[in-house]
């Protein structure tokens, strides 16, 4: 019996839960939220879709956080999203409080569960989740790179009018406007993307990828949730099925890429133990400098988080 709990039944949480039920990835999905009626209502609606989907997943909604017990993975998007004019760091104070109570509850009721963090600023919040629980680093990781590469792949496929499926890409660094999309490691059908797209055009696509979250916030007034939610289901599937997928994840660096005691987006192997391995790829001078800039801002966020946590 496989069970995944999703902490929040708002926009991202409902897509994660529905993605898992829709693909029949786990036996049971438990949707937890503090708003009465919300997780129960969304869960029964999703459950009622499963006969038509031809899936057997049981979907449960609850306001009782202890129902995370027995989870293989707890996905945590619980937190406020950005509003126009805010950057992801503006969310730190609000979302840290939520993180503290959510991960303390996971530690008490599901100490063996892997934690897949989503709430922003995700690199800092994932660090906080590990810091508060004391869980080993393979057990605590975050989702950002699957979303950022998915955006990058989409924009490239739009430019070349080819299937999104045939574009593979890599994005490193913190999940912020300083993230580091890597055109050198991006291919269309296995052929380096530089064969198809000019440097100037690629610079525009990189910029659009970096600001991809903001593009949606400006259009909707709140952040995107389809691509983030479905991105998390890909990571859950890799772990539940022990697929050893190579995906970008927010992972704990212990010397890799020259950084220690920090969470940031890097390529990893995801399998039954969570982050099985961090893959180190060669970076040129320009890519290293961009990664440095991105991770310097994550480091500052972590220091800020630690002092906020002290005052809680
Ligand atoms: N990592 C990424 O790539 C990525 C992408 C998109 C969104 N996000 C982040 O995900 C978070 C959620 O976004 P959203 O659009 O789903 O927000 P939303 O406002 O739709 O939903 C938030 C939900 O969290 C619930 N909540 C608050 N505290 C809780 C707690 N202690 N336990 C359970 N539920 C609780 C609220 O009741 C609400 O239903 C935001 O921080 C957003 O910035 C991250």
pLDDT tens-digit map of 162-171? 999 999 999 9
Residues 305, 92: Cα–Cα separation, whole Å: 7
CA of 33 to the centre of ligand 1 (A): 10
Report angle CA 202, 295, 76 to the nearest 5 degrees.
95
Task: Say if strands 114-117 and 140-142 run parallel, antiparallel, or are unpaired.
Answer: parallel
Task: List, by residue number, the catalytic residues.
Answer: 175
Please tell me the predicted confidence (pLDDT) of residue 90: 79
Residues 138, 259: Cα–Cα separation, whole Å: 17
| pLDDT tens for each residue of the chain, 312 residues long | 999 999 999 999 999 999 999 999 999 999 999 999 999 999 999 999 999 999 999 999 999 999 999 999 999 999 988 777 777 777 898 899 999 999 999 999 999 999 999 999 999 999 999 999 999 999 999 999 999 999 999 999 999 999 999 999 999 988 888 889 999 999 999 999 999 999 999 999 999 999 999 999 999 999 999 999 999 999 999 999 999 999 999 999 999 999 999 999 999 999 999 999 999 999 999 999 999 999 999 999 999 999 999 888
Of all protein residues, the one whose alpha carbon is nearest to atom 5 of ligand 1 is 228
In the chain, CATH 3.40.50.720 sits at 3-142
Q: Token pair of 189, please?
A: 């059908």
Cβ contact 139:115 at 8 Å: yes
* Atom in ligand 1 nearest the alpha carbon of residue 102: 31
Please tell me the predicted confidence (pLDDT) of residue 269: 98
Q: Which CATH number fits domain 3-142: 3.40.50.720, 3.30.70.1560, 3.40.309.10, 3.30.70.270?
A: 3.40.50.720
In the chain, CATH 3.90.110.10 sits at 145-304
Q: Domain 145-304 carries which CATH code?
A: 3.90.110.10
Residues 59-96 have pLDDT tens digits of 999 999 999 999 999 999 999 887 777 777 778 988 99
Of all protein residues, the one whose alpha carbon is nearest to atom 42 of ligand 1 is 81
Ligand 1 lining (C-beta closer than 6 Å): 7-13, 32-35, 77-82, 91, 95, 98, 101-102, 118-120, 122, 143-144, 147, 175, 223-225, 228
Mean pLDDT of the chain: 95
Q: Is the pTM of this model over 0.95?
A: yes
Q: Which of 38, 118, 212, 233 maximizes ligand 1 atoms within 8 Å of its Cβ, making it the mutation to test the pocket? A: 118
């Amino acid at each position: 019996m496989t069970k995944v709990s999703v902490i929040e039944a708002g926009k991202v949480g409902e897509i994660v839960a529905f993605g898992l039920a829709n693909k029949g990835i786990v036996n049971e999905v438990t949707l937890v939220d503090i708003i009465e009626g919300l997780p129960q209502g969304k869960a029964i609606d999703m459950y009622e879709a499963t006969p038509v989907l031809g899936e057997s997943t049981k979907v449960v909604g609850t306001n009782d956080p202890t129902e995370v017990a027995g989870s293989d993975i707890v996905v945590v998007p619980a937190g406020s999203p950005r509003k126009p004019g805010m950057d992801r760091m503006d969310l730190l104070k609000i979302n840290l409080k939520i993180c503290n109570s959510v991960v303390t509850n996971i530690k008490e009721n599901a100490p063996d569960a892997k934690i897949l963090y989503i709430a922003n600023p995700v690199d800092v919040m994932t660090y906080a989740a590990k810091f508060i629980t004391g869980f080993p680093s393979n057990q605590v990781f975050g989702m950002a790179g699957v979303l950022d590469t998915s955006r990058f792949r989409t924009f490239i496929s739009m430019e070349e009018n080819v299937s999104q499926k045939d574009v593979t890409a890599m994005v490193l660094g913190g999940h912020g406007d300083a993230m580091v999309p890597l055109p050198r490691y991006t291919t269309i059908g296995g052929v380096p993307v530089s064969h198809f797209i000019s440097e100037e055009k690629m610079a525009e696509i990189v910029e659009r990828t970096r600001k991809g979250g903001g593009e949606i916030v400006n259009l909707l007034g709140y952040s995107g949730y389809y691509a983030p939610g479905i991105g998390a289901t890909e990571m859950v599937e890799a772990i539940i099925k022990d697929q050893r997928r190579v995906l970008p994840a927010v992972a704990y660096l212990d010397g890799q890429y020259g950084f220690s005691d920090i969470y940031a987006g890097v390529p990893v192997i995801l399998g039954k133990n969570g982050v099985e391995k961090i893959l180190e790829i060669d970076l040129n001078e320009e890519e290293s400098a961009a990664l440095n800039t991105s991770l310097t801002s994550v480091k500052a966020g972590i220091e800020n988080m630690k002092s906020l946590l002290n005052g809680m």
